[in-house]
Amino acid sequence: MTASPSPRHATPNKSQGTGKPKLAFRPLPVPQVDVRGFWGDRAEAVATRTADILYDRCVAARMLEQIDPDQPSPGVVIPFHSPSPDEAASAGFTGSTVTTQMFWDSDLGKTIETAAYSLYRRKNPELEKKIDAVIDMYGRLQQEDGYLSSWYQRIQPGKRWTNLRDCHELYCAGHLIEGAVAYYQATGKRKLLDIMCRYADHIASVLGPEPGKKKGYCGHEEIELALVKLARVTGEQKYMELAKYFIDQRGQQPHYFDEEARARGADPKAYHFKTYEYSQSHIPVREQDKVVGHAVRAMYLYSGMADIATEYGDDTLRVALDRLWDDLTTKNLYITGGLGPSAHNEGFTSDYDLPNETAYAETCASVGLVFWASRMLGMGPNARYADMMERALYNGSISGLSLDGSLFFYENPLESRGKHNRWKWHRCPCCPPNIGRMVASIGSYFYSLADDALAVHLYGDSTARFDIAGTPVTLTQASRYPWDGAVEITVEPQAPVEFTLHLRVPAWSGNAGLAVNGETVDLEDLTSDGYAAIRRRWQKGDRVRLDLEMPIERLYANPEVRQDAGRVALSRGPLIYCVEATDNDNRLHRLTLPRTAGIEAHDEPDLLGGVVTLSATAQADAGDGWQDGLYRADPPARVETRLTAIPYFAWDNREPGEMLVWLRDG
Ligand SMILES: [Zn+2]
């Protein structure tokens, strides 16, 4: 056992770091934030339905048979993807072929994490018992030397550490580590945490910068950010060092994936995805300036880089991250916070290529953007990151979960002819537990805490409890956000205490007003990087009122985005809107929204769990006189019609039908 008996949120000793730690803001742990209102409803759906569903579907997929050493191995349940012809022709080990069954450990890790975070909200002894049993199986499965991979132990024994490029070995370890950290924090049970510490120690004995160790890293990033969590929870700096090694080593020459392929008798060039851009390992991370390859991998890598930048005060990483952030947000991001337009590489293509109907925009990628953005906030409050985190949270990520918590999207297109509907499960079930764990842990994205400051990144009915300068403080938000921009914050320190309260002022809010204990404060004076900083000696009952105007906005895309030319999208506050067939009389592609049209907001408490809809008088191309032909010289007549839009995240929760985000602009 390597983890010291430390508190559940230890701070690693940074004396071995390479630089001065930045002003580190750490997210508040999930149990310290109670969410109500909008996110309360979402988290409740996950706690009451999704968490159980995830476990049941993992069982139905036969995952437990694979990890339980007391049962016969299920063998290959999900066939290998067909290798490319040159791969198939190459001699030796055919490890370049992949089946999603290889990463079942990751699905279980995320399922454990979702269950853990849900247990904070709602006790569920039955589910806890089931998860305990899964953890016992992993305990029995773990090898003497600490190694733990159900795939390599049960299906392909003898092949461990031979194909990091394709086979997700460290990725699986990362998700089990995240599950272990969450379960420990939720239940106080350290069994899985101890198992994963032993495995992390084993990994460090095999891979690393020291002579004699493999110079490898994972083709699918994830272990990096997981090791940072492990270091933070155990106080063990060695896990931080291992995370840093994986970041530093990525893309170095000689290229590990080349050497590894040769070692197993394969031609490095016989690689299905042709380029190491696919896994962001084409060049060292500090030289990268374009978001490339598989979108989820990219987001997880940048998340790990941001953690290491924060922990080590490493500005060389921060500079690279800011370049990548610019590239993503100015050229490669959907308006919903979705990313990765192509199904082929589940990732990025070329700048401004943002097709709507065929958008891949995997739920996991948007969740990954939330992870990355939240970690950029570790280096200090900055609305540049937090606004985008909010965009991805409220739109492109939670669109992946039905309102009742039982059905899922893998792809999140911005246009549908009515055939894109939610899944019960997926052949590659990465998205369901990813959105599950994100929603279940939403409280930790609301706030982050530094030595003498608390930053409020997200607004909504919630209560946070934290210690600052040794004084326990309760901070309560009362708000109908995201439907209304009025936020009333009450600060209740046990004894008067001085600290800075940073409040995000979103870029979308036209006018914002701030008052402390009823006295208006000049917001502009206090605001930098999009956050108002209120420093004072806080007393019990101090009240801060933030009024964010929520204008309805028409948004236009850069003219380089060919798919959005001549089109307009609607937003209100953090929400992007779409039109659905069920609310509109006409085929959606026939609608035009005139620039002069007045757009109204309506509170609809009984619709879709309570939403604000938008409506306007629009125009529709009439179908009259077109029965006999496909083309003619006269344009179609235009008729007046009523257009109703709902928040994008809530689409496909009623009868299936067409959906459209980008409307024709008239
Ligand atoms: Zn996914």
Residue 84, pLDDT > 60, answer: no
Tokens of 533: 């900083």
| Per-residue pLDDT tens over the stretch 23-59 | 589 899 999 999 999 999 999 999 999 999 999 999 9
Q: State the average pLDDT over residues 462-469.
A: 97
Q: What is the pLDDT of residue 399?
A: 98
Residues forming a β-bridge with 444: none
Tokens of 474: 């309760």
Find all residues with CB under 8 Å of 69, minimum gap 6, and list them: 137, 140, 141, 154
**Hey, what long-range contacts does 259-264 have (CB within 8 A, 24 or more apart)?**
259/215, 260/162, 260/163, 260/164, 260/165, 260/216, 261/96, 261/165, 263/162, 264/92, 264/93, 264/95, 264/162, 264/163
Q: What is the pLDDT of residue 85?
A: 55
Classify 436 as helix, strand or coil: helix
Residue 18, pLDDT > 70, answer: no
Q: What is the pLDDT of residue 92?
A: 46
Tokens of 611: 């939403």
Distance 478 CA to ligand 1 centre (A): 34
Distance 294 CA to ligand 1 centre (A): 11
Q: How far is CA 403 from CA 390, 601, 650, in A?
A: 18, 21, 7
Spatial distance between the Cα atoms of 85 and 468, rounded to a whole number of angstroms: 61
Distance 308 CA to ligand 1 centre (A): 24
Would you place residue 190 in the very low, low, confident or very high pLDDT band (cuts 50, 70, 90)? very high
Amino acid identity of residue 450, one-letter, is A
Is 218 labeled as catalytic in the residue annotation?
no
Distance 152 CA to ligand 1 centre (A): 22
Q: State the average pLDDT over residues 557-572.
A: 98
Which residue in 370, 380, 388 sits closest to 442, CA to CA?
370
DSSP string, 244-255: HHHHHHTT-SS-
Four-point Cα dihedral 635, 640, 642, 648, nearest 10 = 20
Which residue in 380, 417, 393 sits closest to 652, CA to CA?
417
Distance 351 CA to ligand 1 centre (A): 23
Q: Cis omega (within 30 of 0) on the bond before 31?
A: no
List 44, 241, 346, 390, catalytic entry: 346
Classify 186 as helix, strand or coil: helix
Q: What is the pLDDT of residue 138?
A: 98
Distance 363 CA to ligand 1 centre (A): 6
Distance 80 CA to ligand 1 centre (A): 19
Residues forming a β-bridge with 454: 449, 501
Query: What residues does the ion ligand 1 have nearby, CB within 5 Å?
Result: 362, 364, 430-431
| Per-residue pLDDT tens over the stretch 193-236 | 999 999 999 999 999 999 999 999 999 999 999 999 999 999 99
Q: What is the pLDDT of residue 15?
A: 38
DSSP-derived letter for residue 241 is H
Would you place residue 12 in the very low, low, confident or very high pLDDT band (cuts 50, 70, 90)? very low
Is 430 labeled as catalytic in the residue annotation?
yes
Q: State the average pLDDT over residues 454-477.
A: 97
CB 119, CB 55: distance < 8 Å: no
Distance 531 CA to ligand 1 centre (A): 32
Q: What is the pLDDT of residue 253?
A: 97
Spatial distance between the Cα atoms of 628 and 199, rounded to a whole number of angstroms: 70
Compute the Cα dihedral for 648, 175, 247, 293 and give only its sign.
Answer: negative
Q: State the average pLDDT over residues 393-399.
A: 98
Amino acid identity of residue 285, one-letter, is V
| 116-152: burial string, b at 16+ Cβ within 10 Å, e else | bbbbbbeebeebbebbeebbebbeebbeeebbbbbbb
Classify 12 as helix, strand or coil: coil
Distance 432 CA to ligand 1 centre (A): 7
**Hey, what long-range contacts does 406-411 have (CB within 8 A, 24 or more apart)?**
406/49, 406/50, 406/53, 408/363, 408/432, 408/435, 409/363, 409/652, 410/362, 410/363, 411/343, 411/359, 411/360, 411/361, 411/362
List 218, 364, 430, 431, catalytic entry: 430
Tokens of 642: 């009523």
